[in-house]
Amino acid sequence: MTQDQEHTLTVGCHLSTSDGYEAMGRTALSIGATTFAFFTRNPRGGTARTLDPDDVAGLRTILAENGFGPLVAHAPYTMNLCSAKPETVEYSRTSLASDIERMESFPGNYLNFHPGSHVGQGVDRGIELICEGLDQVLVPGQATTILLETMAGKGTEIGRSFEEIARIIDGTHHDELLGVCLDTCHVSDGGYDVIGDLDGVLDEFDRVIGLGRLEALHVNDSKNPPASHKDRHEKIGQGTLGVDTFRAVVTNERLRDLPMILETPNDLDGYAAEIALLRRMAAGEAE
């Protein structure tokens, strides 16, 4: 990869909204990020932060003037479109609709969510509920793409396989508004061999879902062995995926232009170091 290509790597991490949106943009700049993720509301539930038009404008200016790629916002963990509890399903649909409206203040970006857990209802019923929820909240012509995250398969999680993700996309009326965020930790924990055969995994993704749907990556090492179905993130190169897996990711022609979000157990200095590490890998330099 050439030096010019190295500068196109779009990588960042998860940032806090506590000091506002413009502050998030400045923090991203300070650690060398060219994208970032943030929760649309408290990750454990609750109300969303009121949007300040000046704050929104400040972030949009930073993004435009500094060559940022798409942002990858994250819906709260409490959202479960396929819960067995009707009140949770209703909360999840209402929250997702509200968060889509909020993201329209930052047009052209992504809103990622965990498909949900069927909690004993079965995969078929779970997928049916997820599709019903998406059909209720997606708005034709919206400028925000909704991303389904690949999951590790913990408990009754839906999205543990590419086939389950494909069934959701195929079962939703406005599938043109849907994409996928592939999490390296999750797919390894879920049983896909990203360590030994990344290209084979991407071929399988293309066959089942279509690589045109792949819009973003969560770049995380794993504390657990492949196929453990546990989902515990580790710092880059310090887990079971190892440095070579991430070198393969950032230099892969089918992945290197996607926004890459770090969700590793780090502070800001740690994220800055990982962003720099991934950029060196993308440039072909030794870590």
* DSSP bridge partners of 183: 218
C-alpha to C-alpha distance for 188 and 275, rounded to whole angstroms: 21
Of the CA atoms within 13 Å of residue 262, those in its CB half-sphere come to 32
Q: Kindly state the tokens that stand for 159.
A: 């999205």
Over range 229-254, report the average pLDDT: 96
Judged against a pLDDT cut of 80, whether residue 1 lies above it is answered with: no
In CATH, the architecture of 3-282 is Alpha-Beta Barrel (3.20)
Q: Kindly state the tokens that stand for 200.
A: 């084979």
For 106-147, what is each residue's pLDDT tens digit?
999 999 999 999 999 999 999 999 999 999 999 999 999 999
For 22-66, what is each residue's pLDDT tens digit?
999 999 999 999 999 999 887 666 677 788 999 999 999 999 999
Contact criterion met (CB below 8 Å) for 54 and 62: no
Domain ranges for the chain, please list them.
3-282
Q: How far is CA 120 from CA 23, 133, 143, in A?
A: 42, 18, 35
